[in-house]
Amino acid sequence: MESAGKFDYIIIGAGTAGCVLANRLSQDGKRNVLLLEAGGKDDYIWIHIPVGYLYCINNPRTDWMYRTEAEAGLNGRSLIYPRGKVMGGSSSINGMIYMRGQSRDYDEWAGLSGDASWAWDEVLPLFKKSENHYSGEGEFHGVDGEWRVEKQRLSWEILDAFREAAKQAGIPNSDDFNRGDNEGCGYFDVNQKRGIRWNASKAFLQPAAGRGNLTIMTGCQVKKLKIEITDGLKRCSGVEFIGGGKAWFAESSYETVLAAGAIGSPSILQQSGVGNGAHLQQVGVTPVHQLSGVGENLQDHLQIRSAFKISGAKTLNMMVDSWFGKAKIGMEYMLSRSGPMAMAPSQLGAFTRSDANQKTANLQYHVQPLSLEKFGEPLHPFPAFTASVCNLRPTSRGHVRIAGNDPLAAPKITPNYLTTAEDRKIAAASLTLTRRIVASPALKKYAPEEMKPGVQFQTEEELASAAGDIGTTIFHPVGTCKMGRSDDSSAVVDSQLRVIGISGLRVADASIMPTITSGNTNSPTLMIAEKAAACILAFHQK
């Protein structure tokens, strides 16, 4: 095993969180930082063209190509489970939607962690710190950060009509989903810069890459963390990994930070002997430290895709149905960086409540001027739109567990979608609400005809079952290394994101979320990394 050297900090994973951490921890030039990434560079052209997510998801060059186990709540179906496998991680292949969630999310984290610094009023400055928002400096937005936020560079008649229909159905218009209360309907803001994807690698890593105290190694797969035990005390002293056909060891003087995401971080901990001891023994891993919560508490947003055939309005289906249409789209992007090639996967959003008992919005819509049978298949040869809706606060909980002691093998991912009565009830209610919006006067002239799930599903039980047939992940896995109080036996990290019972080791990514945020999870992950970096720097300046 060759030595990669000794570093003050080792960061595992160059996704959204890892890029932020690498920038912040190397900023003052005083500490040596090693950033390890299992994937490659983000130099694939389709990463940077917004519509290119179609060619990045389920592509082994850019995606880990995970799949879920067969899901009972999805009537036995297994889903693709995309995770970014390049610099920038999932920010290189995601939908580019800038979304913080609701203030109640962070206030809840403060209660669950016993640390008031996680409350909304305390984390808002962290969101603003990294932000470069098109609207300018204000109470809720910043302009001096690296994370560029822009308006979308397109509009669609059918989406404008849906927005008006939502208003008629009781969902007010909104021009900003990121002020702590995201209820309303409007176009999403996106992480783009003049019509080009703005991923975490461009924003945070490229400006830091030339620093002499930052070493970046790609194509390096972590085998395990080195956990040393001295007088009963456990400390992470470094990382064993494979890269370039060689076995390596890197030593950390101060800390190792796991930023490999909600799938990668718990998998690395388990491969290192940290987790549920009984499970680890079953798969041939020697337990080193008992933490039963590692890999548990998996939460994700399940989107339920209702599709409607229409007439009298332009949709993407017909625009790409001819070579002339495709050429026109390409020319528009080439000349002005606008049009369909600049599209985020979802353009119009809405947040609302499934019923009057909800204190805040618990449903999110992603509305698209297109339709298809399933991801990866061609668009339908007729005009249509899709209104996907997800339960923002699912009560179903799943898990991520390694299947054996091979660090290169995919873990078993079991989200357990729609396994609680509450989640099934809300799924049915959300489909009913979608029908009510589409039946509003603003959409009448387009004669919408429901294709999915189909008008034959009417009762709550029928609609819940139909949701299992058409529901897909919206790619927001979180919670598998949850943050919690010292008396929470399922917690993996404390409120400073330190792994409980092991010094010199933290987790800083979406896996630490005790509960999922009320919206897209990329920018909350960025905020977590900002907070983690501040905690680490403050601790080692003592």
The 10s digit of each residue's pLDDT in 375-418 is 777 889 999 999 999 999 999 999 999 999 999 999 999 999 99
Q: Which of 35, 72, 24 is nearest to 418 (CA)?
A: 72
For residue 453, whether the previous peptide bond is cis, meaning omega lies within 30 degrees of 0, is yes
- Predicted pLDDT of residue 542: 58
Rounded Cα distance between 226 and 236, Å, is 6
Q: What is the dihedral of CA 80, 85, 87, 90, to 10 degrees?
A: 20
Q: Which of 419, 477, 480 is nearest to 296 (CA)?
A: 480
Six-digit token string for 280: 């680890």
Candidate list 141, 380, 476, 540, residue with the active-site label? 476
Question: Do 68 and 81 contact (CB within 8 A), yes or no?
Answer: yes
Q: Which of 6, 315, 9 is nearest to 156 (CA)?
A: 315
Question: Do 241 and 250 contact (CB within 8 A), yes or no?
Answer: yes
- Annotated catalytic, 48? no
> In the structure, what pLDDT confidence band is assigned to residue 23 with cuts at 50, 70 and 90?
very high
Least confident of 34-48, 164-178, 261-275, 361-375: 361-375
Q: Which residues pair with 289 in a beta bridge?
A: 274
The 10s digit of each residue's pLDDT in 182-195 is 999 999 999 999 99
Rounded Cα distance between 276 and 288, Å, is 10
> In the structure, what pLDDT confidence band is assigned to residue 243 with cuts at 50, 70 and 90?
very high
For tokens 């490659």, what's the residue? 40
> In the structure, what pLDDT confidence band is assigned to residue 310 with cuts at 50, 70 and 90?
very high
Rounded Cα distance between 445 and 13, Å, is 50
Six-digit token string for 244: 């370039």
What would the mean pLDDT of 116-140 be, rounded to a whole number? 97
Residue 201 DSSP class: I
Residue 128 has pLDDT above 80, yes or no: yes
Residue 63 DSSP class: B
For tokens 């977590």, what's the residue? 528
The 10s digit of each residue's pLDDT in 224-241 is 999 999 998 999 999 999
Q: Which of 392, 414, 389, 411 is nearest to 402 (CA)?
A: 411
Percentage of the chain modeled with pLDDT above 90: 89
Residue 369 has pLDDT above 90, yes or no: yes
- Predicted pLDDT of residue 465: 96
Q: What is the dihedral of CA 416, 418, 419, 422, to 10 degrees?
A: 140
Average pLDDT over the chain, rounded to whole? 95
Residue 352 has pLDDT above 80, yes or no: yes
Rounded Cα distance between 357 and 464, Å, is 20
- Predicted pLDDT of residue 223: 96
- Predicted pLDDT of residue 1: 84
What would the mean pLDDT of 140-166 be, rounded to a whole number? 95
What would the mean pLDDT of 1-17 be, rounded to a whole number? 95
Rounded Cα distance between 315 and 323, Å, is 16
Rounded Cα distance between 505 and 257, Å, is 6
> In the structure, what pLDDT confidence band is assigned to residue 331 with cuts at 50, 70 and 90?
confident
Rounded Cα distance between 11 and 1, Å, is 20
What would the mean pLDDT of 448-474 be, rounded to a whole number? 96
7: number of Cβ within 10 Å: 24
Six-digit token string for 110: 């403060």
- Predicted pLDDT of residue 333: 78
Rounded Cα distance between 479 and 90, Å, is 16
Q: What are phi and psi of 377, to 5 degrees?
A: -100, 160
Q: Which of 15, 143, 54, 128 is nearest to 344 (CA)?
A: 54
Rounded Cα distance between 489 and 296, Å, is 12
DSSP H helical ranges for 402-521:
421-438, 460-470
